Amino acid sequence: MEKRGVPAQVSKEYCQVKKYVESIREHVEAGVGLILKGPVGTMKTSLAVAVLQHYIQVGGYGLFVPMASLLDNIFTLKERNKEEWLRYEDRIRSTGILVLDDLGAEYHQEWVLSKVDAIISERYNRMKPIIITTNLSAKELKGKYAERVYDRLKSTSKVINFAGSSLRESA
């Protein structure tokens, strides 16, 4: 993970993520993940992807899943092909590192929250790390999900808080 082009606004956060990457194998073995939280456009997703790419480069395996499409994928696969659906669900639960991008952006329905709870709980029980990106604060996460979900995430993850305005250029 190189520091080329990292804006000063996220320099501190970048260094914290890089420190995690420097011991990636130990973190994965111990089930330690990351929670990258803060405003939109502050490079949380870019850094999460960089961690996953590094882990894959050193022989690991993982999966990147945007929360907005996770449940669409599960629902569509379940209707179309049960075997493919079961393989996808198993991969989410057992992959080396699971990146859940934009936690909190998924639909706010009871079955959706139950599915998120099940994924996080199973990975917690298996000591499998999750890297989460979210725009929600700790209080908002606790308000949206069962209290045990956030408690499990924070107990097995390094929390990195991002700040500042969006770094994306306007069109």
What residue ranges define each of the domains in the chain, with the CATH number in brackets? Answer: 39-161 (3.40.50.300)
| Residue 121 and residue 33 in contact, taking contact as beta carbons nearer than 8 Å | no
The string of pLDDT tens digits covering residues 89-118 is 899 999 999 999 999 877 666 777 888 889
What pLDDT is recorded for position 9?
81
Q: Is the pTM of this model over 0.85?
A: yes
Q: How far apart are CA 166 and CA 78, in angstroms?
A: 37
- Name the residue type at position 17: V
